[in-house]
Structure 1
Amino acid sequence: MNAITVRGVTKNFGELSVLKGVNLDVQQGEIFTLLGANGAGKSTLINILTTLSLPNSGTVSIMGFDPRKDGNAVRKLISLNAQTATLDGEFSGAENLRLIAQLRGVRNERAEIAVLATRLNLTDFLHRKVKTYSGGMRRRLDIAMSLIGNPQIVFLDEPTTGVDPQNRLELWQMIREIRDAGKTVFLTTQYLDEADALSDHIAFIHDGTIVKYGTPAAIKQRVAATYTLQVAPSDQDAAGTALSKAGIHYVQAEHGVTLSADSGNAALASLLDAQINVEHFDRDETNLESVFLDVTGKVEKYENH
């Protein structure tokens, strides 16, 4: 059973079409990351999944519940950690947690808060006012508030933005621990290395539709690879002439050229035939930044497999 299933979801704001038929599956017990440029529809989709907004058409299932018909049931199963922390600076960390526990109807709130405080390294400063907390401490407390009440799906909207590298790595470990405890994590992030490191599956949203979906490794493999081929500066003009004569498309770089993977070997052979010394020849590493650029420039239709 999927934790989240989305089929054909559209959302319009007046004449502006933001979501244009979104299809998506998020499996139970995984870290799923939604990536896309600003304005691609990420926040609009999250608002629909968390019952803050209704789609114009299409269907959504959250742990088998329809948010249109069973909004209260869905809200009991999820939590949302938004980009802006919802902390009261005049309250202590414990008081902030107790407030959320009471709103969620947690029976044994003290015991649950104690467990979360230990798990997220909050115990030493739990009784200090939040306004004295560092940025990393605030973020940990905010995530702890998202875990009150044992939600099955945790939405984390850019949880590490503005966090220093050490605290960022600690938050990564917390996110993994949420997943390892059997919860589903729905993540958005500005950091592509973060998505690569944490995600079981990733989807790219572009212009209101899902255009790429899969594991990080599978997505990177589907992006056209490139080779970098370097020659001596004195041979650059001759190298360009040889490649052009062979009908090989290339992009001039400093002291070399960049080629698509399917033309790399042909380019190497052409230069060697022209007796041009090749100083360096290597396949470029594909990363999610390459995928992001590919998504914004050349869109493929989503296939869920």
Structure 2
Amino acid sequence: MVRGVDLDVGPGELFALLGTNGAGKTTTMEMMLGHRRPAEGTIRVLGHDPLRDRRRLAAHVGVVLQESGCSPELTVAETVRLWLRLRGQHAVARTVQALIEELDLNSRADVPVRQLSGGERRRLDLAVALCGDPPLLLLDEPTSGLDPQSRARTWRVLRDRVNRGVTILLTTHYLEEAEVAASHVAIMNAGTVAVAGTVPQVRGAGTLAEAFDRVAACPTTERGTR
């Protein structure tokens, strides 16, 4: 259950939503995707109501959920090709290869999804989210289960998209990575946003991890300025 969540993510930002398990991050993300109906309040994604306009938003929002939605019987290349066509992408063969290489899956292109490791599936999830060059990415734990090298590659891909003007809202448990990559962060605790703002505003004189620990220890932490 979440309550009083007030987030404003601007164009071209990488916004990291942080919190312990059960803090409300995934629930908040599900409401933004139109998978849950809020009891009250207003949600707008690219100016649309995600519940009423899910079909209209689908072509403009790339999504990574905690559970992969890729068919286990398709190969990596077939999966990316399918999603590109669903998104109306042309020059498919060239784009499939580019996405597979970008996520370091070229050696696994002809391997069925069911045979991929957990980390490889996570990279495929991101490749699918990037199909069609959506202007907004909503990513729930996109680096979960990745080894350090794969996490570094994933963050390079995300920073590249931000440099192209893509807006990204993601959840993560890797605080040190969010501290480096994100422009704004919010830390949730017990279903509320305890503090939010730019990374320097939230971390104060310490680190983001120290701010996270303060929030976890004090449910009444005051909210930030944004």
TM-score by length of 2: 0.89
Task: Pick 1 or 2: higher relative contact order, CA cutoff 8 A, min separation 6.
Answer: 2
Gaps of 5+ in 1: 1-17, 226-285
Letter in 1 for 2:211: V
CA contact 2:201–2:224 (8 Å) conserved in 1: no
Residue 152 of structure 1, aligned match among 135, 138, 148: 135
Provide closer, same or farther for how the CA distance between residues 132 and 67 of structure 1 changes in structure 2, counting only shifts above 3 A. Answer: closer
Residue 213 of structure 2, aligned match among 290, 293, 296: 293
- Aligned partner of residue 97 in structure 2, secondary structure: helix
Tell me the distance in 2 between the aligned counterparts of 1:182 and 1:106. Answer: 19
Letter in 1 for 2:214: D
Tell me the distance in 2 between the aligned counterparts of 1:131 and 1:74. Answer: 29
Letter in 1 for 2:98: V
Letter in 2 for 1:213: A
Provide closer, same or farther for how the CA distance between residues 86 and 178 of structure 1 changes in structure 2, counting only shifts above 3 A. Answer: same
Summarize deviations over 1:219-254 as a string: whole Å, max 9, x none. 111xxx6xxxxxxxxxxxxxxxxxxxxxxxxxxxxx
CA contact 2:73–2:114 (8 Å) conserved in 1: yes
Summarize deviations over 1:167-211 as a string: whole Å, max 9, x none. 121112112112122111111111211211221100011222211
Structure of greater Rg: 1
* C-alpha deviation, 1:58, in angstroms: 0.4
- 2:23 is aligned to 40
Q: Which has the larger share of strand?
A: 1
Tell me the distance in 2 between the aligned counterparts of 1:302 and 1:76. Answer: 34
Letter in 1 for 2:154: L
Tell me the distance in 2 between the aligned counterparts of 1:136 and 1:37. Answer: 22
Moved over 4 A (4+): none
CA contact 2:202–2:224 (8 Å) conserved in 1: no
CA contact 1:50–1:75 (8 Å) conserved in 2: no
- 1:229 is aligned to none
- Aligned partner of residue 187 in structure 2, secondary structure: strand
* C-alpha deviation, 1:102, in angstroms: 3.4
- Aligned partner of residue 44 in structure 1, secondary structure: helix
Q: How many residues align?
A: 225
Provide closer, same or farther for how the CA distance between residues 130 and 75 of structure 1 changes in structure 2, counting only shifts above 3 A. Answer: closer
Superposition CA RMSD, Å: 2.0
Gaps of 5+ in 2: none
After TM superposition, list the pairs within 5 Å mapping 1:9-20 onto structure 2.
18-20=1-3
- Aligned partner of residue 41 in structure 2, secondary structure: strand
